[in-house]
Amino acid sequence: MTNGIRPSLTVSCVNKQAAVIIPDTLAAETKGEFYFLHENQRSYLRSIVGFPLGKVCCTDRTSAQAALVIDINVSNFFTEYDRVFLEFCLREFATRIKM
């Protein structure tokens, strides 16, 4: 999904094949590092993390690239300081949901 010009966090995460952490979406937007896809997201999307899942099996038995994205309405909930811990937790969770 894109907003017509810039890729969503999910697309960026899949393209980079790396975790993407945006601690404060409002601050990141002012720097041009994050873009809201819908205006109403500003009221609830304050911190977000994306983690690439790699290829997942679709219901028709084909595969597609996917990412797990978690957001919260609290700024600085997900931070670079916690990157190693977040990646560990998300990798463990991803392993379980891909099975």
Alpha-carbon dihedral angle through residues 27, 31, 32, 35, given to the nearest 10 degrees: 0
**Is residue 21 situated within a structural domain?**
yes
Q: Is the pTM of this model over 0.75?
A: yes
Does residue 52 form part of some domain? Answer: yes
User: In this structure, are residues 86 and 78 in contact, taking their beta carbons and an 8 Å threshold?
Assistant: yes
Half-sphere exposure of 65 (CA within 13 A, CB side): 12
- Whether residue 44 is contained in a domain is answered as yes
8 A C-beta contact, residue 38 and residue 4: no
Q: Cβ atoms within 10 A of the Cβ of 17, count?
A: 10
- Report yes or no on 90 lying in a domain: yes
Looking at the predicted structure, is the pLDDT value of residue 94 above 90? no
pLDDT in tens, 68-83: 999 999 999 999 999 9
Domain with 57 in it: 9-98
State how many domains the chain has: 1
Answer whether residue 4 is part of any domain.
no
What's the pLDDT score for residue 3?
46
> Does the structure show a pLDDT above 60 at 98?
yes
Flag whether 86 is in a domain. yes
Residue 91 lies in a domain: yes
Is 1 domain-assigned? no
Given a contact cutoff of 8 angstroms between Cβ atoms, the answer to whether 70 and 8 are in contact is no
